[in-house]
Amino acid sequence: MELDLTPKLAKKLYGGDGGAYYAWCPNELPMLREGNIGAAKLALEKNGFALPRYSDSAKVAYVLQGSGVAGIVLPEKEEKVLPIKKGDAIALPFGVVTWWYNKEDTELVVLFLGDTSKAHKSGSFTDFFLTGSNGIFTGFSTEFVSRAWDLEESVVKTLVGSQSKTGIVKLDPSCKMPEPKKEHYNGMALNCEEAPLDVDIKDGGKVVVLNTKNLPLVGEVGLGADLVRLNGKAMCSPGFSCDSALQVTYIVRGSGRVQVVGVDGKRVLETTIKAGNLFIVPRFFVVSKIADPDGMDWFSIITTPNPIFTHLAGRTSVWKALSPEVLQAAFGVPPDVEQKFSSKRKAEEIFFPPPN
């Protein structure tokens, strides 16, 4: 069966005047199920509140747009209330309870990418809501709720009867929510647009890698991530993950072209990608991208907390490590052709600026 790697857009699952929740379906993007990967987006309007929930999957959240507040409760820990803004990456291990709130005029949009190998449905996240019409609170009988929380039956009926919304609600502007604390941010999140650069190539591009060094919590999630910002008309070197990891890529901004080459040298994907697209590169497949004139940014997760990549072009390429004799024999070409091949891209690394 041929792999379908075609990039896809997310589809709305539920929502209202407070915002909406979108997800990528494994039936439309089969590599989600094949790779045990889930992908979703939360979009909150002003005063939109995503009700407290926990998930069956460990995730990395990335703020695509806007600013707001995130409430996070790690198992048997106190609540952390984080100020979040565009560029923030947040590691969400198993068992964490989260809520999200937007008090600004600009829509708050958060991307979720994660591992569904232990989920109820491979390739999809399942959220368990603490409140709301589909919340756990409403699932128990009045007797059980009364006993568990030591409440009178009349109070229980009032609590259960007030749960009319699902997932996302719009709060009254007068509703007071917890104020975020800057000290809660440290160790819980990292802003990929402000963090020290791991790669910075003039006219080529920039990379910030999210790993256990700059955000130790990703070790508990079991995923690594990076934000790549490719300059206009620049190229990202062909490369592959050499530690059997899958690469899940969401195009944050701009557009460009992508090619993926797989088994037996077969080109399995050649297409244009644009903001909002999600696609997955299978294990050991080689991928390369070229940005359109306005450039292209993407956020990726890799299914290991400390990924290792092999690049096939540029100064650090595997070709540069091979001896000339091996190259001549492998390509079946005379020395002068091999020398032309080896003499190129001696200074450039990973990203190649557009030709003059």
The DSSP secondary structure of 284-300, one letter per residue, reads: T-EEEEEEEEEEEEEEE
207 shares its domain with 176: no
Q: Is residue 285 part of a domain?
A: yes
Q: Is residue 147 part of a domain?
A: no
pLDDT at 124: 97
Mean pLDDT per block of 10 residues along the chain (356 residues) reads 85 96 95 94 98 96 98 93 97 95 97 95 95 88 92 90 89 94 93 94 92 89 93 93 84 98 94 96 93 97 80 77 85 84 73 85
pLDDT at 73: 96
199 shares its domain with 102: no
Q: Is residue 314 part of a domain?
A: yes
Number of domains comprising the chain = 2
Q: What is the CATH number of the domain that holds 112?
A: 2.60.120.10
174 shares its domain with 233: no
pLDDT at 321: 80
Residue 74 and residue 242: Cα distance in Å, rounded? 32
Residue 259 and residue 251: Cα distance in Å, rounded? 15
| 27-38 burial: b if 16+ Cβ within 10 Å, else e | eebbbbbbbbbb
DSSP, collapsed to helix, strand or coil, labels residue 204 as coil
243 shares its domain with 99: no
220 shares its domain with 292: yes
Phi–psi pair at 138, nearest 5 degrees: -85, -10
Integer CA distances (angstroms), 287 to 55, 202, 250, 265, 282, in order: 31, 22, 14, 12, 10
219 shares its domain with 79: no
Phi–psi pair at 245, nearest 5 degrees: -90, 150
242 shares its domain with 320: yes
221 shares its domain with 179: no
Residue 115 and residue 57: Cα distance in Å, rounded? 6
- What residue type is 115 in one-letter code? D
pLDDT at 4: 86
Best CA proximity match to 263, nearest among 290, 283, 245, 239: 283
pLDDT at 346: 64
Range of the domain at 322: 193-352
pTM to 2 decimal places = 0.92
